[in-house]
């Protein structure tokens, strides 16, 4: 089996789908690994390290795409990569198809076996390949928010931790899953006032127990959202309905009630965003103002910390990649139910219900 590792081309992307260490494992299991030159450079991995691990370095991206049986990536293929996808090829990467109707059409037309990191399931129903990036995005969301709250960056000038005698900043986190819980941890650690809302009482109970009253937990309903968001200095959107388009949980009307110079970080933007006034931004122009509030909605936040993100991602993908190399794609999918849940497109069909529904295919 030949595994192809292209260089990521999304704006500001720094991650790579394979470390030299994972490369060594794949080669030892019998795979041929093609790595595009400089693919790992922004994550701190030099070409020489891949070569020493047994990879073949390739200068041209199209050679990697056209030769590989399995393309291993980080981000979904972008328009410039659509032509490179080979008929019937397998791609293992984040796909986020609910927010990508054009890409979906291409995958169906080319009968791509699209295995999406974000829907691979653990035995307990969790999403082990989404988790590390969500943890990173959650943690980053607070430092990004703190940065844009600074006056020189157009923010309201609120220091999240305050100082003795002043009111700390109010951080409101909607969604208490992986990204939300890690945002709460960072915000609480900085000394902010933190409110977290979710529909799942077990998630709220866990945070209540962990923080012993230092964090306010609230049921996510329109009344609580409206009152908390109106008082937020920093609002974090962190909701997810697996594989579906994110639900809008905060209306533009509610955003308009926030204080001028407050900040929104909508982590859920990769699934379409959970705040009505949000549209996707990029690492080159990460924010815009709407209703006097700074909006940040970069769909690949972990690229800001490419080294940590690459290590976090690949430690999660390694067992699945190794299984694919050892057994071949078809047998790995047949024998591992959790990996099979990752299949979003196959033989020209959408095979994941929530994606089909979100895109109007069912
Ligand atoms: N922007 C980025 O760079 C980036 C990086 C990683 C993850 N993400 C995205 O972040 C989002 C969250 O991922 P996660 O791993 O934290 O998901 P998760 O499943 O761990 O948590 C989502 C939480 O949202 C809650 N929820 C659902 N509907 C809600 C509602 N109406 N109100 C309040 N809570 C609600 C769920 O109960 C759950 O606790 C996903 O869209 C994921 O793809 C984005």
**How far does the chain reach from its first CA to its final CA, in angstroms?**
34
Probe target for ligand 1 pocket from 134, 205, 229, 249, with the most ligand atoms within 8 Å of CB: 134
**Ligand 1 atom at minimum distance from 240 CA:** 22
Same domain as 233, residue 140: yes
Same domain as 275, residue 143: yes
**Ligand 1 atom at minimum distance from 179 CA:** 16
Of 281, 299, 317, the residue that ends a domain is: 299
Which residue has a Cα nearest atom 42 of ligand 1? 268
User: What is the arithmetic mean of pLDDT over 317-334?
Assistant: 98
Same domain as 91, residue 44: yes
Same domain as 67, residue 42: yes
**Predicted local distance difference test score (pLDDT) of residue 243:** 78
Query: Annotated catalytic sites, by residue?
Result: 96, 270
Same domain as 160, residue 58: no
- Residues 245-274 have pLDDT tens digits of 899 999 999 999 999 999 999 999 998 999
Q: How far is CA 270 from the centre of its chain?
A: 7
CA distance 245 to 268: 9
Centre of ligand 1 to C-alpha 267, Å, is: 8
Residue position matching structure tokens 């980053």: 140
Strands (E), the chain: 2-5, 32-36, 56-58, 70-72, 90-93, 113-116, 170-174, 193-198, 215-219, 234-237, 263-266, 287-290, 293-296, 343-346, 349-350
Q: Is the per-residue pLDDT at 362 higher than 90? A: no
| Total domain count, the chain | 2
The CATH number of the domain where 203 resides is what?
3.40.50.720
Same domain as 216, residue 338: no
Q: 31 in the Ramachandran plot: left (φ > 0), alpha (ψ -120 to 50) or beta?
A: beta
Query: Starting from the edge strand earliest in sequence, which strands make up the sheet with 70-72, in order?
Result: 56-58, 32-36, 2-5, 70-72, 90-93, 113-116, 343-346, 349-350
**Predicted local distance difference test score (pLDDT) of residue 74:** 97
Q: Is the per-residue pLDDT at 156 higher than 90? A: yes
The verdict on residue 333 lying in a domain is yes
The verdict on residue 156 lying in a domain is yes
Of 299, 314, 336, the residue that ends a domain is: 299
- Two tokens, residue 187: 């915000």
- Residues 109-152 have pLDDT tens digits of 999 999 999 999 999 999 999 999 999 999 999 999 999 999 99
281 lines ligand 1 (CB under 6 A): no
Same domain as 154, residue 109: no
Q: Which pTM was predicted?
A: 0.93
299 lines ligand 1 (CB under 6 A): yes
Q: To the nearest whole percent, how much of the chain has pLDDT over 70?
A: 100
The verdict on residue 54 lying in a domain is yes
Same domain as 161, residue 84: no
The verdict on residue 14 lying in a domain is yes
Same domain as 141, residue 116: no
The verdict on residue 126 lying in a domain is no
Probe target for ligand 1 pocket from 179, 195, 226, 287, with the most ligand atoms within 8 Å of CB: 179
Residue position matching structure tokens 């659509």: 82
Which residue has a Cα nearest atom 28 of ligand 1? 239
106 lines ligand 1 (CB under 6 A): no
Centre of ligand 1 to C-alpha 226, Å, is: 19
Centre of ligand 1 to C-alpha 178, Å, is: 7
Please state, as a whole number, how many other Cβ atoms lie within 10 Å of the Cβ of residue 334. 12
Same domain as 195, residue 256: yes
Centre of ligand 1 to C-alpha 200, Å, is: 12
For the chain, the average pLDDT equals: 97
Same domain as 290, residue 349: no
Probe target for ligand 1 pocket from 128, 228, 239, 308, with the most ligand atoms within 8 Å of CB: 239
Residue 181 is part of which domain span?
131-299
CA distance 304 to 339: 28
Same domain as 287, residue 196: yes
**Predicted local distance difference test score (pLDDT) of residue 284:** 96
């Amino acid at each position: 089996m030949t595994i192809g590792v292209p260089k990521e081309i999304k704006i500001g992307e720094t991650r790579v789908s394979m470390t030299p260490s994972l490369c060594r494992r794949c080669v030892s299991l019998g795979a041929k690994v093609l790595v595009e030159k400089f693919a790992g450079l922004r994550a701190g991995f030099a070409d020489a390290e891949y070569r020493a691990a047994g990879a073949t370095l390739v200068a041209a991206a199209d050679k990697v795409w056209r030769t590989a049986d399995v393309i291993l990536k980080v981000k979904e293929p972008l328009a410039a990569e659509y032509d490179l996808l080979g008929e019937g090829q397998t791609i293992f990467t984040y796909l986020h198809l609910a927010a990508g109707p054009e890409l979906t059409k291409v995958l169906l037309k080319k009968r791509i076996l699209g295995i999406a990191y974000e829907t691979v399931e653990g035995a307990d129903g969790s999403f082990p390949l989404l988790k590390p990036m969500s943890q990173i995005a959650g943690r980053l969301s607070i430092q990004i928010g703190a940065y844009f709250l600074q006056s020189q960056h157009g923010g309201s000038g609120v220091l999240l931790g305050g100082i003795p005698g002043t009111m700390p900043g109010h951080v409101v986190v909607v969604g208490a899953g992986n990204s939300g819980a890690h945002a709460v941890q960072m915000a609480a650690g900085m000394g902010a006032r933190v409110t977290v809302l979710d529909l799942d009482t077990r998630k709220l109970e866990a945070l209540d127990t962990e923080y012993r009253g230092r964090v306010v937990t609230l049921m996510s309903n329109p009344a609580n959202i409206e009152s908390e968001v109106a008082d937020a200095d920093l609002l974090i959107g962190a909701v997810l309905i697996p594989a579906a388009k994110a639900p809008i949980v905060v209306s533009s009307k509610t955003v308009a009630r926030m204080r001028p110079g407050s900040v929104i970080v909508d982590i859920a933007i990769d699934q379409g965003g959970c705040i009505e006034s949000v549209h996707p931004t990029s690492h080159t122009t990460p924010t815009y103002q709407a209703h006097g509030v700074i909006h940040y909605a970069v769909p690949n936040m972990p690229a800001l910390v490419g080294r940590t993100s690459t290590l976090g991602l690949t430690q999660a993908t390694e067992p699945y990649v190794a299984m694919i190399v050892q057994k071949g794609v078809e047998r790995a999918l047949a024998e591992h139910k959790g990996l099979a849940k990752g299949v979003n497109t196959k033989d020209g069909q959408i095979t994941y219900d929530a994606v089909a529904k979100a895109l109007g295919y069912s």
